[in-house]
Structure 1
């Protein structure tokens, strides 16, 4: 993954932010929308593109664009930095390989401990019963 190359391929669009904010929100475009075409990227290898498309398939639209947006800040510049940071974190997490899970068995001591606690619990419940029955 070539991070610098990917950053040059990002497309940004500034739109009006939703929610409260009064006059400032009504006249300025502070929300930043980022779009990134996964297939046409030169910063990713073919294997990385496949992995990203598999892991982020629900976030990629029919045209092949991965879209994200940020409207956390009142500043367009801050929102741009935030959305770039979030995008890079998302890509890095999608490219990270998970360790294969190793199957384990419970130890002999843990089995005995479990059986002992079950036996003790059943004795407690048995002692609650009426002895005449």
Structure 2
């Protein structure tokens, strides 16, 4: 099982392994040819309704985590490319949110780790 790294799309840190954008919308100010991606996995992003409800408000993060994981469970095929890549080696999940502790990539990383551990 490979390492799962999360990184802001705007940070200049080098990515490890396969690189996936995990937001539903393309990040502002970033040209598509500026990112070297193995995939843009839009279907794994939180629904528009959930994203609007959360509004990146840290006090809602615990409930966001619960609701987002429920959405992921309801659409298991969405995470399959990420799980397959993580079984082969390290992956980097790119996200655009400013808050590095309260965002969908944080939840998704934990979700993927749990799914990988359950299938091992």
Whether these two folds match at TM > 0.5 is: no
Which structure: larger Rg?
1
Return the TM-score normalized by structure 1: 0.27
Return the TM-score normalized by structure 2: 0.29
* Larger RCO: 1 or 2 (CA < 8 Å, sep 6+): 2
